[in-house]
Amino acid sequence: MSDDDYGAFLTGPRLRMSGAQTGPLQGLRCAVKDLIDIAGQPTGFGNPDWAASHPVPERNAPVIDRLLAAGASIEGKTVLDELAFSLEGRSFHYGAPRNARAPGRIVGGSSSGSAAAVAGGLVDFALGSDTGGSVRVPAALTGIFGIRPSHGRIPMAGMRPLAESFDTLGWFARDALLLARVGAVLLGPDAAGWHPRRLVIAEDAWAVADRALREALSPARKALESKLGAAETVTVGRLVRGDHADLIGWKDRFRALQGHEIWQTHGAWIEERNPRFGPEIAQRFAFAKSNSAEAAAEARVTRELFAAAIERLTADAVLVLPTAPVIAPRLDDTAEAFLAYRDRTLTLTCIAGLARVPQVTIPAGEVEGAPVGISLLARRGADLQLLALAAELSSKLAAA
C-alpha cells in the first residue's frame, strides 16, 4: 500500500509537522481539512481559483497550535468539496476519495479526504468542518466516529467560512475514546452539568431513513435503552407550531438561511473572480444567490424558536436519530439519485445545525455491506459529556 491509497490527501509533497514530545495526544497522527490555515501553506478550500486568489497564511489556525502543543503531529492536508458546499465527496477538481469500508461508494462530503484518511488507517484522527453535515455524514458512510460540537464552542479563527452561524470544527476517529481524547484538548471543560435521564427517539427523523437502515440500527437503540431506560418518542418537526411544523419545513428554512449567509460571505468573490466550479457546485451557489434577505430573516426568527424547543427537550434527555437516511450512494449513481440523497440527508442534519447543539455519530451496523451510523444529540455545551456517553454506547455495542 502507498501512503495514500484512498486519494485522501492533496497531491504534491506531503505537509508534515511534529508535535511536542509530551502531551495527551503525543505520538498521534492528524490530517487537516484544507480549509484550515497552516503557516506557509496555501489554503486551497477545494478550488484552484480560491488558492490562486488568496494569500498564503502567515500563521497557523489556533486549533493547529493547540494540537501540536498536545503532542499530535500533522500528517498532511486533505481533499474537500469546493468551498465545503457539498455532502458528496466528489471534487470536480481533485477527484473522489475512496471509501475503505464500502468500495465503489462515496465517502461523503465535504470533509471527504479527512474521513477517508481515518477510515483507511492513514492517520489516527482528522479535522474537518461541519456546516450542514460535513463531518457527521462522511463518518457514518465510512464506519467511523465523528462529532459536530456545539456551535461556537471552538473558535473558527484561521478557518475558511461557509455559513458562519452554522459552521463548526469537527473531527473523526476510529474509536470513541480517541474522539473524546481529542475533544478534551480542543473543547476545554463543559460549562454546565448535563445529566440525561431520558432517551428520546426523533420519530419523524427515523421515518426519513430507509427501512433496512432503521432495522440495522435497532441493536444500538436497545443498547441505549439498557443505559437510559425505555425510549420516549417525539416528533421533532412539531416542537414549534406553525406552517413549518415538519422536518421538511425546517430543512427548507435551514437552506434559506444557510444559502443567504453563503452568498453574503462569498458572493462578491464569485462575481469578481468567476471561478471554475463543477456543475453541481455552480448550481448550489446560484441557489444561494437566489435566497432573499426577507426569507433569511424569517428563517432566522423561526430558527430561534426551534433552538429553544430543542434546548428544553435536551435539558435532561438524549435525542437519537439516524445520522444519514441511506447508505453511501454509488459513485456512478445518477444525478437525480444524488439530489435525493442530499435532500433527505439535510432533513436529518439540519436539526443540530439549527439548534446549535452537539451531535456525535457512532458506527452501528451495516446494510448491503455498507456502514450506517446512529447519532446522539445533547444539550448545547455538553459536548464532553456527550462524548463520554458515545464511548459507553460504543463499548456496549462492541460487547454485544
Q: What distance in Å separates the CA atoms of residue 111 and residue 113, rounded to the nearest whole number?
A: 6
Q: Which of 146, 163, 187 is the last residue of a domain?
A: 187
Strands 198-202 vs 317-322: parallel, antiparallel or unpaired:
parallel
Catalytic residue check, 33: yes
Shared domain check, 238 and 162: no
Q: Which of 187, 217, 251 is the last residue of a domain?
A: 187
Average pLDDT over residues 264-278: 97
Shared domain check, 128 and 254: no
Shared domain check, 266 and 159: no
| pLDDT, position 1 | 37
Shared domain check, 379 and 271: yes
| pLDDT, position 245 | 72
Indicate which residue of 73, 86, 110, 394 is catalytic.
Answer: 110
Residue with cell 476517529: 173
pLDDT in tens, 181-212: 999 999 999 877 899 999 999 999 999 999 99
Q: Which of 187, 219, 250 is the last residue of a domain?
A: 187
Indicate which residue of 33, 91, 111, 129 is catalytic.
Answer: 33
Give the pLDDT band of residue 300 (cuts 50, 70, 90): very high
Indicate which residue of 73, 134, 150, 394 is catalytic.
Answer: 134
| pLDDT, position 101 | 97
Inside any domain, residue 6: no
Inside any domain, residue 92: yes
Strand partners, 377: 319, 359
| pLDDT, position 400 | 67
Residue 152 has pLDDT above 50, yes or no: yes
Q: Which residues contact 399 (CB under 8 A, 6 or more apart)?
A: none
Cβ atoms of 317 and 196 closer than 8 Å: yes
Closest of 154, 122, 127 to residue 139, by C-alpha: 127
Strand partners, 359: 148, 377
pTM recorded for the entire structure: 0.97
pLDDT in tens, 204-249: 999 999 999 999 999 999 999 998 999 999 999 999 976 667 999 9
**Alpha-carbon torsion angle 222, 322, 232, 379, nearest 10:** 110
